Amino acid sequence: MTNIALAATVTTGEAVTFWILAPLALLGAIGMVAARNAVHSALWLVLTMLSLGVFYVVQAGPFIGMVQIIVYTGAIMMLFLFVLMLVGRDASDSLIETLRGQRVAAVLVGLGFAGLVGTLVARAVSGTEAVGLDAANRDGNVQGIAALLFTNYVFAFEATSALLITAAVGAMVLAHIHKPKSEKLGQPETMRLRFRPGNYPAPKPGPGVYATSDSVATPARLPDGTLSQRSIPEILPTRELSSRETAPKGTEK
Amino acid sequence: MTSAVLLAQDPTLSDFGHDPWWIVLIKIVFAFVFAVLATLLGVWFERRVVGFMQVRPGPNQVGPFGLLQTLADGLKMAFKEDILPKTADKVVYFFAPTISVICAVTALSVIPFGPMVSIFGHHTPLQVTDISVAVLLILAVSSMGIYGIVLGGWASGSTYPLLGGLRSSAQMISYEVAMGLSIVAVFMTAGTMSTSGIVAAQAGSDSSASLGGFEFFAPGWYAILLLPSFIIYFVSAVGETNRAPFDLPEAESELVAGFMTEYSSLKFALFMLAEYVNMVTVSAVATTLFLGGWRAPWPISIWSGANEGWFGLIWFFAKVILLVFVFVWLRGTLPRLRYDQFMRLGWRVLLPLNLVWILALAGIRVLQKENSDAVRWSIIGGALVVILLITLLWPDRKKKPQPTLQEQVNARPQGSFPLPPMDLVVPPSPRARRGVAQRQPANVGGGAPDVIEATSTEEKED
């Protein structure tokens, strides 16, 4: 538990890790906003989340760091990717501004917000010494978290899990299409519909196969000599053969 | 060996982090070489074993017993043309195989290969490193390894790889849940998440446990003590490594080669490396968590020297090879599952079983710690009531008896096709009756008494 005991002071290793990963985390955040492809955005976000996970580990929270990587990077971002891949790989955001000056305003407001939060955190924690870390981690980091979760915060913990389960069940209820059995047609009903007056029960006539053409666009000829439009698919335009196509090909001798 | 060394056989967390940099380097190189060698020999092993199971020799031309076949294949692969599809996302396409390999190899860094040994005079555990949440680190890198497959499938820019990638992401998320839950039982029993600690916790093979006041023999290995967890872990490990019968992301009969359809040359080799390293890694993790790690199995462990020093490596590798053999065995035996069957197994069988088992185990743990008889008996009584309620209220799956023919006829709607009465008995035709009466008895005993005579009389009558 040496790393936990030393966590109150910044060691060289911690500083080196921070200065390597902090720019990467920032790069990931900026890349996530700037990337035009949705999957690239997700990947930049993965980079940021991974860096955050390592930060947690370095700051004497190994359990929360690993959980960050397993849950957020491994499961949630994977589900995001799943959805993005289903949407289509070439779905990119359009860069046309619908509101004039929207992007500049967004950048300015974003910078302002970041400055505000940064100043707030800096003023709040500067000069504050972290205390009680050794006491909290006395029985080990995981055991400490477990003891807190299942004693002081058990109600909040259970409420959160109930909320999540409700959300999951709700999503499933919304997405699930239940067709009652009474709506399914049995064989007698299907047959009655098929033979009802006005419905032609036999298969539709196939398209014509003639010496001049065997295309699916050629309508079939009914017994009385008329052409049946029901024999050709509706999306095909009816097409008369040109004289060049009907002319003898010169192959018969 | 001195007594001090004997006492310090089991490395604890405080034994890590004191090595000089060159020992750390040696350990890292050892783990990496182990991964690569395991792949080279693993492919050979798999092909030979599957060949044996299919009654054919398998690769036997290159080197002794065909041992160098994989090396030759690897060289051939390296000299093949590296194809970059036109529609591929170039950066992601390039990085996907490396993500797979890096994550697969990283997991080996927390695997305990052996006890404390002496390397060039330094007393050090035979393990790259250990942290208090080492098993979670393994879960984390295995969940990151999925990105390689998913991104490789997506970046290829064609349909089959995309479908393979989608399948693998859904598959791995599902089976990671089952895998994580099966490890929970190990955490609960061992009381630690560090791999060396879990190996040490399985050491007491001759200890006895007490349950509800009764003392009984409890084996040390969690594979026996926590058998349901071990089975679920192994099944989900097969799903997690995309091995047959769960190799749906690369199902060759449906998806050509799944996520690696477009890959060729060294990038394909990297995917293959990752797959085999993953197989070895999950075997090593199973060995560590359930099979006592580097400790000698029971009859050998009677000899006190079996668990000392470098001997640990032998037992560890033997157990890993045994588990890899089971992987190969599964591949040689079982056909691939359909995707919906596979998902149903994960979510509807493994997950509920796991939850019930963890609940039961938690009850047993509380029983062990509880001292007052009232609480103890109330827990046992509650469990019995729950079991009784479940058996009573379990939905009956017995099929309804098939309705009789007459009932089926009566149930037909109005205006159905007319049927003859169901109790109609057709009288036998007189001609058939005559034929039956004149039939010769079958000649069973042998000999041909009067066949010609019989046929002649029949002809006369007709």
A72 touches chain B (CB under 8 A): no
Architecture of domain A9-90: Up-down Bundle (1.20)
In a domain, B456, yes or no: no
Asked if the model's pLDDT at residue A159 lies above 90, the reply is yes
For chain B, percent of residues with pLDDT exceeding 70? 88
Average pLDDT, chain A: 81
User: What is the per-residue pLDDT for A27?
Assistant: 93
Judged against a pLDDT cut of 50, whether residue A205 lies above it is answered with yes
Q: Report which listed range, A133-137, B104-108, B373-377, is most confident.
A: B104-108
Distance from CA of B17 to the nearest CA of A (A): 9
Q: What is the DSSP string of B24-53?
A: HHHHHHHHHHHHHHHHHHHHHHHHHHHHHH
Does the pLDDT at position B213 exceed 60? no
As a whole number, mean pLDDT of residues B427-456 equals 65
At residue B208, the pLDDT reads 52
Helix (H, G, I), strand (E, B) or coil at A136: helix
Q: pLDDT tens-digit profile of B75-85? A: 898 888 888 88
Is A62 an interface residue toward B (CB < 8 Å)? Answer: yes
Whether B403 is in a domain gets the answer: no
For helices B265-290 and B69-78, angle between their N-to-C axes, nearest 10 degrees? 140
* Model pLDDT, residue A115: 94
Lowest mean pLDDT among A150-164, B134-148, B164-178, B360-374: B360-374
Residues 189-248 in A contacting B (C-alpha not used; CB under 8 Å): none
Least confident of A63-72, B374-383, B432-441: B432-441
**Residue A41 is encoded by which pair of tokens?**
């955005």
Report cis status (omega within 30 of 0) of the bond before A203.
no
Asked whether residue B212 is domain-assigned, the answer is: yes
Report the chain B residue with the minimal C-alpha distance to residue A70.
B140
Residue-level pLDDT at A48? 92
**Tokens 């058996």 — which residue?**
B391
Domain for residue B127, yes or no?
yes
Tell me the shortest Cα–Cα distance from B48 to chain A, in angstroms.
35
> What is the average pLDDT across A126-135?
76
Chain A, residues 28-47, CB within 8 A of chain B, namely 37, 39-40, 43, 46
The answer to whether B193 contacts A2, with C-beta atoms less than 8 Å apart, is: no
Alpha-carbon distance B96 to B164, whole Å? Answer: 14
Please give the pLDDT value at position A23: 92
- Whether residue B37 is contained in a domain is answered as yes
Distance of CA A225 to the CA centre of its chain: 57
Q: What local confidence, expressed as pLDDT, does residue A166 receive?
A: 94
Report whether pLDDT(B298) > 90: no
- Please check whether residue B347 lies inside any domain of the structure: yes
Say how many C-beta atoms besides its own lie within 10 A of residue B109's C-beta: 19
- Report, in angstroms and rounded to the nearest whole number, the Rg of chain A calculated over CA atoms: 34
Residue extents of the structural domains in chain A: 9-90, 137-176
CA distances in angstroms from B290 to B107, B154, B205, B294, B306, listed in the order given: 17, 36, 13, 11, 19
**Is residue B195 in some structural domain?**
yes
pLDDT bucket at A227, cuts 50 / 70 / 90 = confident
Q: Which residue has the higher pLDDT, A172 or B6?
A: A172
**Chain A neighbors of B169, CB-CB under 8 A:** 78, 81-82, 85
Domain span at B259 = 15-393
Q: How many domains does chain B have?
A: 1
B246 falls within a domain: yes
Question: pLDDT (tens digit, 9 = 90+) per residue, A2-37?
Answer: 444 444 567 787 888 889 999 999 999 989 888 888
Reported as a pLDDT band with limits 50, 70 and 90, residue B217 is low
- Whose tokens are 């599964």? That residue is B330
> In the predicted model, what is the mean pLDDT of chain B?
80
Q: What pLDDT does A177 receive?
A: 77
